[in-house]
Structure 1
Amino acid sequence: MQGTRYILSEYVEQAMAQALYDKLEDSTFSGRIPVCKGVVAFGTTLHQCEDELRSTLEDWILVGLKFGHTLPVIRGIDLNKEPTREPMDAL
């Protein structure tokens, strides 16, 4: 479906676009997303590090949502909004 917007997927993509990577002394890689405090990953290759970082970010988001932590607004995407509920008769 073109035009369909998946807010969580877009949030992950926009956060990953802000990722910073470093090559370490042992030739492995570290990655972090500064706006998402504590989201850090390591890998033997840059690609593995990126995959690990994405997985860590996804887990971080799910834990944050579950426990009601305030997540950073990234490029206008705010996951902190209270869900809107429609009355049952509206369905």
Structure 2
Amino acid sequence: MFSEYIQAALSRAEYEPIEEGDFCATISGLRGVIATGETIEECRKDLIEVLEGWIALRLRLGMAIPPIAGKTIDVSAEPEAVV
């Protein structure tokens, strides 16, 4: 579930060159998910870390995670009983 969501989000990532040859990446629709790096590869790695943290924080705060390309992360606020 998480890896599929992250891959769908990464497919929407936009990379732009910024000052001194560095890169900045954002994902449309995911406010606050911003990463930078000296290369596109470093920027992508940072973007994955930022996205994972963004998801974890939203889950902790009980905030919705918007669907991307039909992929969702739905976690119940109430733990399910183990039978």
Q: TM-score range by the shorter chain?
A: 0.7 to 0.9
Pick from 17, 26, 50 the counterpart of residue 11 of structure 2: 17
1:43 aligns to 2:37 (yes or no): yes
State the structure with more CA Rg: 1
TM-score, with structure 2 as normaliser: 0.87
Q: Greater relative contact order: 1 or 2 (C-alpha under 8 angstroms, separation 6 or more)?
A: 2
- Counterpart CA distance in 2 for 1:54 and 1:77 is 16
TM-score, with structure 1 as normaliser: 0.80
Pick from 15, 22, 27 the counterpart of residue 28 of structure 1: 22
1:85 aligns to 2:75 (yes or no): no
Number of matched pairs: 82
Q: Which runs of 5+ in 1 are unaligned?
A: 1-6
- Counterpart CA distance in 1 for 2:66 and 2:14 is 17
Secondary structure of 1:37 counterpart: coil
